[in-house]
Amino acid sequence: MSSKKTDAPRESQLAGTQTPDKANTNAKLQSLENFRADATGEALRTNQGVKIADNQNSLKAGARGPSLLEDFIMREKITHFDHERIPERIVHARGTGAHGYFQSYGDHAALTKAGFLRDPEAITPVFVRFSTVQGPRGSGDTVRDVRGFAVKFYTDEGNFDLVGNNMPVFFIQDAIKFPDFVHAVKPEPHNEIPTGGSAHDTFWDFVSLVPESAHMVIWAMSDRAIPRSLRMMEGFGVHTFRLINAEGVASFVKFHWKPAQGVHSVLWDEAQKLAGKDTDYHRRDLWEAIETGDYPEWELGVQIVPEADEHKFDFDLLDPTKIIPEELVPVTPLGKMVLNRNPDNFFAEVEQIAFCPGHIVPGIDFSNDPLLQGRLFSYTDTQISRLGGPNFHEIPINRPVAPNHNGQRDALHRMTIDKGRASYEPNSIDGGWPKETAPAAEDGGFESHQERIDATKIRQRSESFSDHFSQARLFFQSMSENEQQHIIKAYSFELGKVEREHIRIREVNEILANIDLKLAAAVAANLGLPAPKKGTVQVKGSSLAKSPALSQMNLPGSVGIKGRKIALLVADGVDGADVDRLVKALEAQAARPLLLGPSSAPVKTADGKALPVDASMEGMPSVMVDGILVPAGKASLQALAGSGLAKHYLLEGYKHLKAIGVAKDGKALLDSLGLKEDAGLLVGDDQKVIDAFVKAVEGHRVWAREAAAEAIPA
């Protein structure tokens, strides 16, 4: 009896019930903990206690002018942000990379005096780092996210870093907001969830309150955020830069990387499955492609705008949330980049490489884009913390191939042993060396582009930055029907994870409705919300109704099915001659045929020979390949028809809109699965079937099948 009487209050205490005295005691104890902060009802202040009047704009020389170094608010905010995590990168932590080279197509002297763009015989070494933005080093490769695309050119005039993404715009317009955006998109601070994704309240709370993010968010909700391969991504410099020729004539430019293999993505269902089946899917794909000689290749091009035309568009060239549609300014090809060598040591190369948009060479210069202006400070600052001091340029992967003599000395991890007594300039002790190089000299020193500035020192966003929806609308309306449906499903999935209904309502009514009412209505229906009848702002009209260059459907690439992985499903009794025929046909197209069996053990052909396989069907599931072939052989086809694993393989490949070719005798296998022939589901043993299969793989997906594939279980 006594045991029961004492157990009841004990259980209630464990459940969280407290007596008033204990609650008061805890309150008193917490009041002494001055390291806990509650910002409710408090003014926004600097770390020194100064109230902040404007947290939206950095200090500039005029609304469209350059950012000023004296902006102590921005510098304090970004300095703190840069040093939040050690040693992992705060953003772009999950990455991989490769060595390669760049070669100019010709002498682009009319455009720039940069040497690596003027000599078509020169081979410029490069190192490229690809990455996801949100997640830590241990996160998955195939999460929905922006991908970093950073290239270090080791030119003979010094290092040039083109630090971009696989999307041409960004979430914010001014660098002072970068810490806010990243804090919102990173895992929530109370539980560190979600890892590697943006389907959570803080991200959507921020972007629904910051309309300038609308354009970038719709890119992130598109298939661009779930690429099939790092080899199949476009890259962009994001910002507007300048190229300057020997006569001092400057042009505004936007940098583009266009992949030879086209721009392709996985489906959302595939992305989720790949995250579980192979967390390293993208880095493995890049590594294997280089090891097998399928070297990834991109063309570097620029959109060129003469300085006199700076203001001729219905958007501002300095606004990093805007593109220049290629229909208005075509991309001019400059040269090609090939990645042909994997790193020898991941940490020493991929992890220790340090990029900075401020690493430029003569002939390249900046614009007054306020996001770029902040990045010029932030990247170097964060490397100092992450790589142990200011000598990160001494790490082998960061060393320029050009000499780098100056008066900078000492500090942590100094590796160069400098001779001479003078570490200052000018000097007479060491004969004045090293000396300045006159800009006009043949081997001229760097000279900043001269730009007249006559402006008021001010914290203000230019009025020309105020249109936040017209290009987001252009993007959505430029998509194919399939791509539009994928965007609708992405918004619906992401917002469906948001716990606070007012955030979902705000995103639908105040963001999506201003982009496109069809989009807003579809997402609202999927969330159980009323469809908005109109937007909340008057959206500025675009000079284009559509931009075909924005749709992946129009970016198939130029190399056919080179490097595509094609699974050949085999079992005991397979026709060895037919396997050999299919393998040779695929190799003739530079594709990668992979023999997959019921297990990793060899199978026996119909004439009793052992046929080694590359993997089991379970070890390399259909989400890891680009197409599926089933060779002839009566016994093999019967075995596959009786295998749940094989049938699932074909059903899943069909659901994911992949090309499937089955030997003539395998029609019964397809019939048993309830699958009907289409442009990418082919039956037969002749060359006509092979040709149709190759064409279907070139198209990446059998898009006309998508409605029928919805009926296939996940």
The residue out of 347, 376, 398 marking a domain boundary is: 398
**How confident is the model at residue 26, as a pLDDT?**
65
Highest mean pLDDT among 14-23, 74-83, 700-709: 700-709
- For 633-661, write each residue's pLDDT tens digit: 999 999 999 999 999 999 999 999 999 99
- For 518-549, write each residue's pLDDT tens digit: 999 999 999 999 999 999 999 988 889 999 99
**How confident is the model at residue 1, as a pLDDT?**
37
Q: Provide the residue type at 260 as one letter.
A: A
| Residue 2 pLDDT exceeds 50 | no
Q: Quick one: DSSP state of residue 549? A: G
Q: Domain for residue 24, yes or no?
A: no
Q: Are 198 and 134 in contact (CB under 8 A)?
A: yes
The H or E element that residue 583 is part of is helix 576-588
CA distances from 134 to 141, 230, 276, 487, 516 (A): 11, 17, 18, 20, 27
| Residue 475 pLDDT exceeds 50 | yes
Confidence band of 4 (pLDDT split at 50, 70, 90): very low
Residues 140-168 have a mean pLDDT of 96
Structure tokens at 20: 């008033």
Structure tokens at 520: 């807003």
The overall average pLDDT reported for the chain is: 92
Q: Residue 486 CB: number of other CB atoms within 10 A?
A: 20
Distance (Å, whole) CA 567 – CA 569 = 6
The residue out of 398, 427, 460 marking a domain boundary is: 398
The residue out of 349, 370, 398 marking a domain boundary is: 398
**How confident is the model at residue 22, as a pLDDT?**
62
Tokens 């805890």 sit at which residue? Answer: 26
CATH classification at residue 661: 3.40.50.880
Q: Quick one: DSSP state of residue 661? A: E
To the query of whether residue 165 is one of the catalytic residues in this protein, the response is yes
Q: Domain for residue 69, yes or no?
A: yes
More confident site: 612 or 449: 612
Q: Domain for residue 336, yes or no?
A: yes
Residues 6+ away with beta carbon under 8 Å from 142: 226, 266, 270, 271, 272, 274, 275, 281, 282
| Residue 418 pLDDT exceeds 70 | yes
**How confident is the model at residue 82, as a pLDDT?**
82
Distance (Å, whole) CA 611 – CA 278 = 26
Q: Domain for residue 457, yes or no?
A: no
**How confident is the model at residue 34, as a pLDDT?**
65
Annotated active-site residue in 57, 159, 165, 509: 165
Q: Domain for residue 4, yes or no?
A: no
- For 258-287, write each residue's pLDDT tens digit: 999 999 999 999 999 999 999 999 999 999
Distance (Å, whole) CA 706 – CA 300 = 34
**How confident is the model at residue 543, as a pLDDT?**
83
Q: Mapping DSSP to helix (H, G, I), strand (E, B) and coil, where does residue 611 land?
A: strand
Distance (Å, whole) CA 505 – CA 209 = 12
Residues 274-303 have a mean pLDDT of 97
Confidence band of 79 (pLDDT split at 50, 70, 90): confident
Residues 574-606, buried b or exposed e (16+ Cβ, 10 A)?
bbbebbebbbebbeebebbbbbbbbeeeebbbb
Annotated active-site residue in 57, 92, 200, 368: 92
Structure tokens at 7: 């157990």
Question: φ, ψ for residue 274 (rounded to 5)?
Answer: -65, -35
* Dihedral of alpha carbons 375, 217, 135, 652, sign: negative
Residues 409-429 have a mean pLDDT of 88
**How confident is the model at residue 11, as a pLDDT?**
36
Interhelix angle 481-496/517-527, nearest 10 degrees? 40
Q: Domain for residue 550, yes or no?
A: no
In 3D, which of 693, 679, 705, 703 has the Cα closest to residue 631?
A: 693
**How confident is the model at residue 403, as a pLDDT?**
87
- For 686-698, write each residue's pLDDT tens digit: 999 999 999 999 9
CATH classification at residue 118: 2.40.180.10
**How confident is the model at residue 504, as a pLDDT?**
98
For the whole model, what pTM was predicted?
Answer: 0.90
| Residue 296 pLDDT exceeds 70 | yes
Distance (Å, whole) CA 680 – CA 555 = 19
- For 21-75, write each residue's pLDDT tens digit: 666 766 666 666 666 667 778 888 877 777 888 988 999 999 999 999 889 888 8
Residues 667-686 have a mean pLDDT of 93
The structural domain count of the chain equals 2
**How confident is the model at residue 440, as a pLDDT?**
73
**565-569 and 592-597 strand pairing:** parallel
Q: Domain for residue 18, yes or no?
A: no
Structure tokens at 469: 């929806």
To the query of whether residue 92 is one of the catalytic residues in this protein, the response is yes
Q: Domain for residue 629, yes or no?
A: yes
| Residue 18 pLDDT exceeds 50 | no
In this prediction, what percent of the chain has a pLDDT beyond 90? Answer: 78
Q: Residue 534 CB: number of other CB atoms within 10 A?
A: 10
Q: Residue 700 CB: number of other CB atoms within 10 A?
A: 25
Q: What length does the chain have?
A: 714
Q: Provide the residue type at 460 as one letter.
A: Q
Highest mean pLDDT among 116-130, 415-429, 538-552: 116-130
Confidence band of 438 (pLDDT split at 50, 70, 90): confident
Q: Which domain holds residue 637?
A: 565-709
